[in-house]
Chain A
Amino acid sequence: GQSLEQPSEVTAVEGAIVQINCTYQTSGFYGLSWYQQHDGGAPTFLSYNALDGLEETGRFSSFLSRSDSYGYLLLQELQMKDSASYFCAVRAPNSGGYQKVTFGIGTKLQVIP
């Protein structure tokens, strides 16, 4: 099966940079995704890494190291609206040979003034 670990809570100051780490254990691996969820809302897709390295999308970047089974989401120039939960999700083969997405428990980010 698959398992993921990420911190449950992180607090950061407006305008600063914050990194949310995610480590995973899987049998097989296709890629790592990140989703954002505001309180009361639905998860929304942020990024996907299939290969090692950094992917940048505006203020958000995501990094993957397949050899370390590790990734992180980097949020720069933090804004109050970035206060939300952030989920990492691993895409890997399931027992039936199909691809399956498994989510971590989520990291609640609080941005303070």
Chain B
Amino acid sequence: EAQVTQNPRYLITVTGKKLTVTCSQNMNHEYMSWYRQDPGLGLRQIYYSMNVEVTDKGDVPEGYKVSRKEKRNFPLILESPSPNQTSLYFCASSLDLTNEKLFFGSGTQLSVL
């Protein structure tokens, strides 16, 4: 089944404790992206990747890192999480940068205490 898989689904952590949210897609998509969703603010892009080893900042990249060592994986890294990073996170992918259809993972609800 074609899908974008995110883990974990729920995560509670404390300020300053490094964490990684994993994202994997099995559709051979070139383009992958991370969004955070907060009430009243919609989906805001954190980082995106056009292909392996090619990443760029989105609208709200501060406090986040990403890597794209393999085509299928695009992990989101929070080196020192803070409470303002408490949010619902979505990974998404599409065939390439010009393709209009984004496929989303099921989301990761992160709480930073």
Contact B43 A99 (CB under 8 A): no
CA distance A41 to B98 in the complex (A): 25
Q: Which of B33-60 contact A (CB under 8 A)?
A: 33, 35, 40-45, 48, 50, 56, 58-59
CA distance A31 to B40 in the complex (A): 23
Is B97 in contact with chain A by the CB < 8 A criterion? yes
Interface residues of B (CB under 8 A from A): 33, 35, 40-45, 48, 50, 56, 58-59, 90, 92, 97-98, 100-107
| Chain A contact patch, size range | 20 to 34
Interface residues of A (CB under 8 A from B): 8, 30-31, 33, 35, 41-45, 48, 50, 87, 89, 91, 96, 98-106
Contact B45 A104 (CB under 8 A): no
> Given A96-B56, A103-B43, do A42 and B97 touch, yes or no (CB 8 Å)?
no
CA distance A50 to B102 in the complex (A): 15
Contact A106 B42 (CB under 8 A): yes
CA distance A8 to B41 in the complex (A): 11
Contact A45 B102 (CB under 8 A): yes
A86 to chain B, nearest CB (A): 11
A–B complex contacts, Cβ < 8 Å, 6 sampled: A42-B106, A43-B102, A43-B104, A48-B101, A50-B100, A104-B42
> Given A31-B100, A98-B50, do A42 and B42 touch, yes or no (CB 8 Å)?
no
Contact B42 A43 (CB under 8 A): no
